[in-house]
Amino acid sequence: MGKQVLIVGAGASGMTAAVHAARAGADVTILEHKDRAGKKILCTGNGRCNLTNEKQEPRCYRCGSAGFAEGILEQFTVEDTLAFFRGLGIFTKDRNGYIYPHSDQAASVLQAFLQELDRLPVTARYQCRIQQIAKDKGGFAVVSDKGVYKGEALILAAGSKAAPVTGSDGSGYELAAGFGHRIVTPLPALVQLRCAEKHYRKLAGVRSDGEIKLYVDGKLAAWDRGELQLTDYGISGIPTFQVSRYASVALHRRQKVTAVINFLPSLTVEEARDMIRERLKAMAGRTCIQFMNGLLNSKLSEVLLEVAGIPGQRAVRSLTEGEKKRLFQAITAYETRVTASNPYENAQVCCGGVDVKQVDKRTLESKLVKGLYFCGEILDVDGICGGYNLQWAWSSGAVAGKSAACSKGR
């Protein structure tokens, strides 16, 4: 009989840990409180499952300890990930560095996992509510409503608080804290941002290219560029998601958060200024709302004129230099006050979690409790959009699984 390894959580990282622990000779038991495994996988990539991304840089991962995430990702790389999924029967395709299953179905990824878990010495217990975990010299005893499960090693892969409908309810934090681990306050990340201005009700449904710069107490904290989505309460879209974790942290600290948006991101400031000047000159005989036609979305144009304090029916030729300056400012440096992020229910991931300073950066074993390991979103590591959070799940799951199976207990 192999080493007994218990895993709490049957999500992306938990299943990966189970596969690698079992392949390393362990007998694995997964304890999952939902009625089935991998619910969150089915939601990733809009149901297509963006498995990973070929472009891997340190800036793609945010963590409470410099170099921690990179050390794990170096042990199980993108190349290792692709080979792993090929071994599970998943043929992949590359969309400008974004890697998806060729089927374009997240369900096929989950099915491949379940088939492999069924082949290996892995037992899964679903709808299993954990009540207590005890540690002694022999290992761990997990008390649940389905009985007591014992193992020489325990991996906590219970996820974060993001998207709780998929099973990530934050219960793993309580288990980790019970072992003395510090929990960095979990906050919504990769999420929409709510703004103070009332005119967002007029902007619901508008999409526009843009560059967003996020300022915290007047200092630039993050920026990104791409397609923005405007909602009836504020801003959304991938560029917003990419900067949102900084907004969540700052707002939690009661700092002032503002976003400045350039709706002409393909032009330099000088190019945009020259273009606007030429357009004002060429369209001097038209109204201001006509001047905006063809430049930006019509609903957005109306709001930006309102922000600049310019009636849409004003003749372009009547604009003062001050009004022209305000219009240029509204188009290229629209400022909005961020008041909140959307809640965990809308977030793709969380920032925060188990403090990685208390976790071994090579094995993901607890520095406080021998035989206890962590992987996935429960740790204070979060990636940007584009397959990075799943790559962290695969990498951390593989490292934790191998480490738990191969380490020698006390």
Dist. CA 52–CA 42, nearest whole Å: 15
What pLDDT, on a 0 to 100 scale, did the predictor assign at position 387? 97
Query: Residue 74: how many CB atoms within 10 A of its CB?
Result: 12
Which residues of the chain form CATH 3.50.50.60?
4-187+351-406
- What are the residue ranges in the chain where pLDDT is below 50? 410
What pLDDT, on a 0 to 100 scale, did the predictor assign at position 410? 40
Domain 192-341 has CATH 1.10.8.50: yes
What pLDDT, on a 0 to 100 scale, did the predictor assign at position 5? 98
Which residues of the chain form CATH 1.10.8.50?
192-341
The set of residues, in sequence order, having a beta carbon less than 8 Å from that of 6 and lying 6+ positions away, is: 28, 29, 31, 140, 142, 149, 150, 151, 153, 154, 155
What pLDDT, on a 0 to 100 scale, did the predictor assign at position 409? 53
The set of residues, in sequence order, having a beta carbon less than 8 Å from that of 98 and lying 6+ positions away, is: 50, 53, 386, 387
Dist. CA 247–CA 228, nearest whole Å: 16
Query: Counting beta carbons within 10 angstroms of the beta carbon of residue 92, is it exposed (0 to 12), middle (13 to 18) or buried (19 or more)?
Result: middle
Residue 374 token pair: 């962590």
The set of residues, in sequence order, having a beta carbon less than 8 Å from that of 288 and lying 6+ positions away, is: 305, 310, 311, 312, 313, 314, 315, 316, 319, 327
Give which of 78, 80, 60 is closest to 69, Cα–Cα.
60
Dist. CA 318–CA 212, nearest whole Å: 31
Dist. CA 267–CA 290, nearest whole Å: 22
Domain 4-187+351-406 has CATH 3.50.50.60: yes
DSSP state of 359: B
Alpha-carbon distances, residue 232 vs 144, 193, 215, 336 (angstroms) = 44, 11, 22, 14
Q: For 194-217, b where at least 16 C-beta lie within 10 A, e where not — what string?
A: bbeeeebeebeebebbbbbbbbbe
Ordered DSSP codes for 264-277 = -TTS-HHHHHHHHH
Give which of 29, 69, 56 is closest to 353, Cα–Cα.
69
Q: Give residue 386's identity as a one-letter amino acid code.
A: G
For residue 298, give the H/E element and its range: helix 298-308
Backbone φ/ψ region at 142: left (φ over 0), alpha (ψ -120 to 50), beta: beta
The model's pTM: 0.95
